[in-house]
Amino acid sequence: MMNFETALRLYINEPTKEKLHEVSELLLKEMTIKEKIRILQGHAMGVTVKNFLTKGRFYNGEAYPAGGCKRLGIPPIMFTDGPRGIVMKKCTCFPVSMLRGAAFDDELEYRIGEVLAKEASALDANLFAGVCINLLRNPKWGRAQETYGEDPYLLGRMGAALTKAMQDNGIIACPKHYALNSIEDLRFSANAIADERTLHEVYLPHFKKCIDAGAMSIMGAYNKVNGTYACENTMLLTDILRNQWGFDGFALSDFFYGIYDAVKSLKSGMDVEMPYLFRYSVLSYKLKKGDICVQDIDIAVSRVLRALISTLPKHRKQPESVILSDEHTSLSRESAAKGMVLLKNDNAVLPIPSDKKIAVVGRYADKRNTGDHGSSNVFSPYAVTPYNGLCNRFGKNNINLYNGCKCDEATKVAENCDYIVVCVGSDWLQEGEFLVNLGNVKKKPKGSGGDRADLNIPPEDVKLIRAMSALGKKLVVNIMGGSAYVIKEWIDCADAVLMSFYSGLEGGNALADILSGDVTPAGKLPFTIAYNSDDYPPFLHLGAKCKDIEYGYYHGYTLFDKSGKTPHFPFGFGLSYTEFEYNDISLSNDINNKIEVSLNVKNTGNFDGDDIIQLYIGSNNTDTDRPVKLLKGFKRVRINKGETVRVSVTADVDDIRFYNSETGSWELDKSYTVYIGKDSRNIIEAGKISF
């Protein structure tokens, strides 16, 4: 009799796509209809109740099971969430994805993925649903922190790295939320409308990158896309995902309310309902009634079997001792420092000399603030605050603390100091997953997460910044949060401004690494910072009468480029303590379907540091509406002071094609202009290429 162990052995001996399909079909034939239907259902109720009653945790305290068949030895899917760490028990909390996007380093993201895979394995999970790659349209989106930024290419590179790390280590990677999911408060009712070209060029390429990188599962979204719920959307789940992209794995629903109609969802290509048996409880009845057929069930089950058979042979069970190891926490600290973005540094006020006295003030000066408290929350046993980190680096006697926003109290602490570090921004109460919203909330409770009400930091924080500026000390503003803020009203008060995002359990130490100069900042904005909130695309808030919203072709830096508006800080911007000079630029496009720009990069300053070289490409087609330019390559390099390094940055020719909605094909324009840049506005023309 064929069982799972035999199927694995046959596949391992001949690991081809053809053999994978063959053995999964043989295994499928051994299953009863009851066993098949069970494969398509989540079984997390017992785990959730157990965790809630015994450990005070409602969500994902242990891996959530789905499917499985004991008789044939088929293991269940064992789900764990992310993306800033494994949410089960007490694991290593990494910086949020937005900070990691700011690092522009997919090799680093792969290393983070390896750690996450090990910690997932140690806690018996075999599926990681933390590859969050929804595109940031508007920074008001409460869950922006969970993704990598506003650019599809950046999202694709980073998401693919995390996907590959998971799959290489025997954990099924699950990109989410497919698709057009970037509104939180109305996530159950928003209808994102996008034309065919916009859908393919802007909102889906990063998902395809993850599929191409080997993802064997994908999570649907709550929202509607062009009038149809994402988890019952045949266009998304079958026409594009399977027929166009060749996806060979399975789709699972977003939790609890992802599926509305079991028949529509199953027939559209939604395979597994998570985390409990709910809508799919009617599958047996619908089969008897004739609304679905056995083939509908078989197609879905075979996809799950293929994911398990192809991925699990790479899995190596890890001991729980790997969790929170020095290696893992050190990587969290490294990644935090690599992604922090220096926005301003007048008169080289940073780095702070070791002999200076520093006041650390503000609501987040000595408060754990690692991000959202929803499904991405990681329960690490500690988190280094800014105050802790600066004490560790400069000595406790040199650090004064006031953890609050009262200007008079902060003044008392700061008046005898040389530097003031003001910690402002947001926390889980102002932005994040809106857990209060179960589909029928009409008014948003105050301090309940969800989408941001506006893009300014709170007025009491602004008042504190102004009060500290009046003291005449060197003033550093440290912004903690998930994405862009409008900061024009107070930025002139500060000598230096740093975005540290939500920087993980070692965030305070990483902040001290940057402020002290032990690490030279090199992070680049993965989004555009506008002068005004209205410069971003429209957004839907709770209470909106119409739930339809157009997801347009332009957003982020492409919108600023096209409209001629000047951003406050452009996409890809970030200062350093040193300077980099570009020269001797050459361009080639005749090698292995690649466009390659080579250049000399010289560190002309006084600090060793990293530079991130960005490659942008714009079409010269004037007959069709095209973006001015698009990011199509980047490379992070380490260059010591005084050193010159020859660097090559490449782009795939296939990545510069445009979608022709009339023919349904991807086509090259005749001519393109290639740019090398320090950010999306500070660019140098490298030359033109023709096809």
The catalytic site residues sit at: 254
Q: Which residues of 173-185 are buried (b: 16+ CB within 10 A; e: fewer)?
A: bbbbbbbbbbbbb
Amino acid at 314: K
Helices (H), ranges, 123-270: 152-168, 196-198, 205-212, 234, 262-268
310-341 burial: b if 16+ Cβ within 10 Å, else e: bbbeebeebeeebbbeeebbebbbbbbbbbbb
C-alpha distances in Å from residue 42, one per residue of 47, 171, 191, 203: 11, 18, 26, 28
SS3 (DSSP) at 94: coil
Q: Is the peptide bond before 537 cis (omega within 30 degrees of 0)?
A: no
Cis peptide before 459 (omega within 30 of 0): no
Rg (CA), the chain: 25
Helices (H), 551-615: 556-563
Q: Report the greatest alpha carbon distance in the chain.
A: 81
> Do strands 341-345 and 496-499 pair parallel, antiparallel, or not at all (unpaired)?
antiparallel
DSSP at 301: H
Find out whether 117 and 462 touch, Cβ atoms under 8 Å.
no
CA–CA distance, 20 with 307 (Å, rounded to integer)? 9
- Beta strands 191-193 and 548-550 are parallel
